[in-house]
Amino acid sequence: MVKKEVLPLGVMTSIGANPMEVLSKIQNFGIHTCQLGNPPDEYIYGKKSAELNEKLKSAIEKTGMKISSVFIMYKGHIWDLIDGPRTIGLVPENTRAPRVVHACAVSNWARKIGIKAVTSHMGFIPADSTTLLYKGFIETMKKFVAFCKNNNQMFAFETGQEPPLVLRRTIDDIDTDNVRVNLDSANLLMYGMGKPLEAVELLGEFVVNTHCKDGRMPEVGGKLGPEMPLGEGDVHYEEVLPALYEKGFRGPLTIEREISGTQQIEDIKNAIKLLEKIKGNLAT
């Protein structure tokens, strides 16, 4: 029996038109796990979806890549602190219905590919649990999470747009055994919503995946705080990962660097070195 790798390193990636090329590039880092971004519409709705999905499944089989999750995105997001609350995720009521349809379509797509977890930013969850906005959101999430469970999947909240305590309350209110967390420690800082160690304490038992990127708190003006190369921001993974490990987490450390080009490649390589060093100090 092959021993399951503890804290395997992964990369967040898009699929693109040539999945074999994408997965081979990840393999070149010496990495065998990845998380997929929202699949292009052609993979889900297009006339060539069957052909494209066969290419993806073939690429997964040939490379031996493990897809830990697929990330659901919705059109119309504005990634800031001013317009974000009315445009991101399933919290806004005016866009909720068509986005739920898309989320379910991605869940069905993931089932066909063999992906056992779906992840998403669900929006700026209201801190006041007595509001109609919050109650409607919870009812929607209960139904969507049940849909995922029927597809034999977990749903993982991406952290960032709400304080960890609000997300913990939300998970408790949904009260379903397939709700989990994709811990993005940098997002907590970049949105100004909390400290990574606080999130580990409150949410550690629910974490099934991570986005390992770095960042800093926002300044005035409504923009998010800056994303940084791993090790150059204020997350301090040398503290966060041991604390998460103590909570029982053994899942993927998925590197995310939200730039492109040669600098992204260099930053991923440096992130691999840093994470391997931290892993080496854990009693794995």
How many other CB atoms are found less than 10 A from the CB of residue 208?
Answer: 20
| pLDDT tens-place string over residues 182-195 | 999 999 999 999 99
Indicate the domain borders of the chain. Answer: 9-280
- Spatial neighbors of 4 by CB under 8 A, at least 6 apart, are none
Q: Residue 46: what pLDDT?
A: 85
Smallest CA-to-CA distance from 215 within 192, 198, 238, 199 is with 192
- pTM to 2 decimals? 0.95
In this model, does residue 251 exceed pLDDT 70? Answer: yes
Going by pLDDT thresholds of 50, 70 and 90, the confidence category of residue 2 is: very low
% of the chain exceeding 70 in pLDDT:
98
> Is residue 73 packed enough to be buried (19+ CB in 10 Å), middle (13-18) or exposed (0-12)?
middle
- Fold type of domain 9-280: TIM Barrel (3.20.20)
CB contact at 8 A, 271 and 259: no
Q: Residue 220: what pLDDT?
A: 87
Distance, CA of 273 to CA of 275 (rounded, Å): 6
